[in-house]
Amino acid sequence: SAEDVLVVNNIEVVYHDVILVLKGVSLRVPQGRIVTLLGTNGAGKTTTLKAVSGLLLTEDGAVRKGSVELQGRRIESTPAEEIVRRGVVQVLEGRRIFKHLTVEENLRVGLFARRSRGAVVREDLDRVYHYFPRLSELRGRLAGYASGGEQQMLAIGRALMLHPTLLLLDEPSLGLAPLLVQEIFGIVERINREEGTTILLVEQNARMALRTAHYGYIMENGRIVLEGESAWLRENPDVKEFYLGLT
Ligand code: ATP
């Protein structure tokens, strides 16, 4: 529908022309929603994100069937830089911050391409510090000295500076203590609520993801095997047994 920011329609993805990793994946992300993509290691979640952000192409991967539509326009063969320009910002697994720049320099770094005016940059920085007060305290420190959780906050904050049309989050909980995971998911939820940011969230932590997202897809071995409202998925017996660890 017109309110879908992203529509992935039955895509097959191959790496190096031969390795079939996605075997017909379809999903939708409506405007203003948080949608989560769940599944175990190697299910194809990151590959799905890369098919959306264009990063597949840089790894000798390709969408060989199906389509990816961003606001109604096909992007499955569009280069990553162009997709970023159209407002898709991916926060990568493992964060990729610049360790030798300060926290605030890391936040400014993404803006070089945008030629923003000083006042606008200040406003955007303040917006990030509003969601992540911890980053404000650390603004003059080298990012390399920040903890894992702070670096994750920085990676999300940097994405926020770009006012994404679609924010792609790849395992924000990875390697973080439970309390910090809760804090970060709480902030993601607030960003969605207060900014209206549309989010596609890839996670292995199904419990937290289904508390945060409105809708979820579960992926196994390159296919979507189950989808539904988060509240419904949380009560589904198979999801409980295999993903939430409750029987
Ligand atoms: P993870 O949580 O480990 O990131 P995932 O669900 O995101 O898992 P993907 O990273 O998408 O899974 O990987 C899906 C499959 O594709 C795996 O079997 C992986 O080995 C393979 N794969 C991923 N990247 C490449 C690549 N560049 N070349 C070849 N095969 C790849």
18 lines ligand 1 (CB under 6 A): no
CB-CB contact of 108 with 43 (8 Å): no
Amino acid at 220: E
43 lines ligand 1 (CB under 6 A): yes
How many Å lie between the centroid of ligand 1 and the Cα of residue 204?
14
User: Cα–Cα distance between 193 and 239 in angstroms, integer?
Assistant: 26
Is the CB of residue 39 below 6 angstroms from any atom belonging to ligand 1?
yes
For the residues of 108-156, what is the DSSP string, one character each?
HHTTGGGT--HHHHHHHHHHHHHH-HHHHHTTTSBGGGS-HHHHHHHHH
How large is the ipTM?
Answer: 0.93
With beta carbons less than 8 A apart as the criterion, state whether 56 and 63 touch: yes
Would you say the CB of residue 42 lies under 6 angstroms from ligand 1? yes
Q: pLDDT, tens digit, for every residue of 164-216?
A: 999 999 999 888 889 999 999 999 999 999 999 999 999 999 999 999 999 99
The pTM of this model reads 0.93
Instruction: Return the closest-CA partner of residue 158 out of 83, 114, 95.
Output: 95
36, 46, 171, 203: residue to mutate for ligand 1 pocket, most atoms within 8 A of CB = 46
